[in-house]
């Protein structure tokens, strides 16, 4: 679905008008519109209408992301109610009690939507709309069965007000305070705005096709303006009559101020729609997603919209499964690589085990030592033993060590005034007794002898010289 397109549906008992708009364009471009209808019958027509709406959208290839429905005025009731609160949250928490008290009837079977008209120190005045829950449930289930899940379900007059606010029809002079009258084939609407563009008057009424519409307006307008207690007096009347049967000259004389006709939309925009008033109501419903100063939505009270939440949960589920499968695949890949390396390592170990045992006199192959490095080390040890540097066990030989000591003495003797009294040699050590001219020279002698760091040493001043004794043990390699 296209995230920039919104769908508005004006729904009555036997007809539906659908408008799809591009919400991102400045002029709210109409991408498509059409009307469908069914024959009146005793059985509910909601399912049939929903199927025709879905079929019409498919035929015109209309793509949209959000949907709003405008209910025909025959499907809800309108009340004017006062609340003691000004905060919308407090009003929403107590609106059902206030409505039940005002209309003096059980409202457990109705859904409620409301609009705040004015607020003051004494509370708030509101227009409250009530619709039967059973009828709303049939509408929602029928639409959802055709993959149409509306975010908003609003009264038709609220959508009509929204259209007037955003259209050029509202851009009148500052001195004028018009009353708008919209007459469709069977419904009539009165709408007026104050300076803050809030509704001063919002009223619906039914029209009989045999009635004289001029007489109907002349009778209903005074009643409407007086009961509404408007802050500023109405000084002009702007009428759209789908039947085009009103005598505006006569109507002006009867109501006491100018009455004139207005154009809602041009004929090209209507396309496949049967009625201009129905079109602008559906258009106003589509605007609900970009004009949300105050929600007048029956779904806030009954069957709250869960579409976005369900889609988010579905996408998260798919993403989680995909990530789990990806991690499993990565894990299996590295596991296979590790198994292949272990297999190759095992083959090498098996290959060298026999040769290793032969050269190491039957020793088992170490578990974590590279056999090639071990063999190289053993080879070097044997070569050193043959050259006299080391014994077979890996120790430096006594003769090699003695040679190293003599070399050290030759290098340091004159510098330290070294005298050697005796040298005792055993199979495991060399013991040397001697003296130097000072303690510092004795330490120089010890430092010159390689491998003497851990040797046993004895120092003692004697006859003006520093006597010493040191036992040297050959190093292990």
Residues 183-221, buried b or exposed e (16+ Cβ, 10 A)? bbebbbbbbbbeeeebbbbbbbeebeeeeebbebbbeeb
Which residue pairs, CB below 8 angstroms and at least 24 apart, start in 257-264? 259/217, 260/236, 262/169, 262/180, 262/238, 264/167, 264/169, 264/182, 264/240
Q: In terms of residue numbers, what domain contains 410?
A: 398-472
Domain count, the chain: 4
Q: Which residue has the higher pLDDT, 351 or 243?
A: 243
pLDDT in tens, 241-300: 988 899 999 999 999 999 999 888 876 677 778 788 999 999 999 998 776 556 688 988
180 and 220 co-located in one domain: yes
User: What's residue 477's pLDDT?
Assistant: 52
Q: Tell me the average pLDDT across 87-116.
A: 87
pLDDT at 357: 67
Query: Is 477 part of a structural domain of the chain?
Result: no
Q: Are residues 57 and 25 in the same domain?
A: yes
The Cα 398–Cα 430 span in angstroms is: 8
Any idea what the CATH number is for the domain that residue 437 is in? 3.30.70.60
Q: What is the rounded average pLDDT for all residues in the chain?
A: 82
**Mean pLDDT within 417-446:** 84
**Could you tell me if 449 and 371 lie in one domain?**
no
Domain assignment present for residue 388? The answer is no
Q: Is the pLDDT of residue 388 over 80?
A: no
- Whether the CA torsion 340, 342, 348, 350 is positive or negative: it is negative
pTM over 0.85: no
- Each residue of 166-223: pLDDT tens digit? 875 555 555 678 899 999 988 999 998 877 667 678 889 999 888 899 999 999 998 8
> Both 132 and 280 in a single domain?
yes
Residue 249 belongs to a domain with what CATH number?
A: 3.30.420.40
Please report whether residue 383 resides in a domain: no
């Amino acid at each position: 679905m296209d995230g920039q397109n919104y769908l508005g549906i004006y729904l009555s008992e036997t007809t539906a008008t659908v408008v799809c708009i591009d919400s991102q364009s400045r002029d709210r471009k109409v991408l498509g519109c059409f009307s469908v209808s069914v024959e009146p019958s005793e059985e509910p027509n909601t399912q049939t209408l929903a199927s025709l709406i879905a079929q019409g959208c498919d035929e015109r290839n209309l793509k949209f992301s959000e949907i709003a429905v405008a209910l025909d005025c025959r499907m809800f009731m309108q009340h004017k109610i006062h609340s003691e609160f000004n905060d919308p949250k407090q009003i929403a928490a107590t609106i059902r009690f206030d409505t039940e008290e005002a209309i003096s009837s059980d409202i457990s079977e109705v859904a409620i939507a409301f609009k705040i008209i004015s607020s003051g120190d004494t509370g708030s005045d509101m227009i409250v709309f009530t619709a039967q829950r059973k009828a709303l449930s049939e509408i929602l289930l029928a639409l959802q069965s055709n993959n149409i899940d509306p975010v908003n379900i609003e009264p038709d007059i609220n959508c009509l007000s929204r259209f007037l606010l955003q259209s050029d029809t509202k851009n009148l002079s500052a001195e004028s305070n018009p009353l708008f009258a919209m007459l469709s084939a069977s419904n009539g609407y009165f709408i007026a705005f104050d300076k803050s563009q809030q509704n001063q008057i919002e009223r619906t009424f039914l029209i009989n096709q045999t009635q004289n519409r001029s007489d109907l307006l002349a009778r209903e307008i005074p009643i409407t303006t007086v009961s509404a207690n408007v802050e500023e007096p109405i000084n002009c009347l702007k009428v759209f009559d789908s039947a085009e049967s009103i005598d505006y000259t006569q109507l002006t004389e009867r109501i006491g101020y100018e009455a004139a006709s207005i154009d809602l939309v041009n004929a090209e925009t209507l396309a496949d729609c049967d009625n201009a008033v129905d079109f602008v109501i559906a258009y106003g419903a589509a605007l609900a997603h970009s004009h949300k100063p105050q929600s007048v939505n029956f779904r806030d009270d009954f069957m709250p919209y869960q579409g976005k939440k369900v889609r988010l949960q579905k996408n998260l589920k798919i993403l989680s499964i995909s990530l789990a499968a990806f991690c499993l695949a990565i894990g299996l890949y590295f596991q296979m690589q590790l198994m292949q390396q272990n297999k190759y390592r095992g083959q090498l170990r098996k290959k060298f085990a026999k040769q290793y045992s032969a050269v190491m006199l039957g020793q088992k192959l170490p578990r974590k030592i590279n056999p090639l490095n071990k063999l190289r080390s053993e080879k070097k040890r044997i070569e050193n033993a043959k050259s006299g540097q080391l014994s077979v066990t890996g120790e430096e030989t006594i003769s090699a060590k003695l040679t190293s000591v003599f070399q050290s003495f030759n290098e340091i003797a004159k510098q330290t005034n070294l005298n050697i009294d005796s040298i005792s040699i055993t199979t495991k050590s060399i013991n040397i007794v001697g003296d130097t001219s000072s303690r510092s020279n004795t330490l120089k002698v010890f430092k010159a002898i390689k491998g003497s760091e851990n040797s046993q040493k004895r120092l003692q001043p004697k006859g003006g010289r520093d006597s010493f004794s040191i036992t040297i043990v050959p190093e292990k390699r």
